[in-house]
Amino acid sequence: MLKTILSISGKPGLYKLVTQGKNMLIVESLIDKKKIPAYAKDKVISLGDIAIYTETEEEPLYKVLTSIKEKEEGKACSCNAQKANPEELREYMAGILPNFDRERVYPSDIRKLITWYNLLIKAGITDFAPENEPVAETDSAEK
């Protein structure tokens, strides 16, 4: 599901990919449902391609979002990302991903993560696992 959810640099919020046009993407805001074009010059990244640094490897964003969902019991985040100080943000992140890399994951990254989580929950997107994940589990169960 996260493959079709996009972050566009310079534009607030998250966007859902609607369709592709010539030299652009048509996206729909998760906040106000308005459709806008995203051009080739815009820096667009899929949430499915994002990972969080840990001390040993990178943790895919869907796993981190799933951890937040479990901690918050499927509700909006209890931590106010905009008002929390950096230490509170790091403490919250440690509760979700204890081995996150404190050197490379900045408080601004944690703020963005919490904001994205809240936007996804508000938009009714609660299944963060990649589409091919259940298939992989089925394959391994058959062996």
Q: Give the pLDDT confidence score for residue 22 in this predicted structure.
A: 85
In this structure, whether the domain defined by 50-122 belongs to CATH 1.10.3720.10 is answered with no
Give the separation between CA 130 and CA 125, rounded to whole angstroms. 13
| pLDDT < 70: residue spans in the chain | 132-143
In this structure, whether the domain defined by 2-47 belongs to CATH 2.30.30.730 is answered with yes
Residues 62 and 128 sit within 8 Å (Cβ to Cβ):
yes
Q: Give the pLDDT confidence score for residue 2 in this predicted structure.
A: 87
Task: Render pLDDT for 70-109 as a digit per residue (tens, 0 to 9).
Answer: 999 999 998 899 999 999 999 999 999 999 999 999 999 9
Name the residue among 13, 34, 44 with its Cα closest to residue 125: 13
Give the separation between CA 138 and CA 10, rounded to whole angstroms. 40
CB count within 10 Å of CB 118 equals: 18
Question: What is the domain partition of the chain in residue ranges?
Answer: 2-47, 50-122
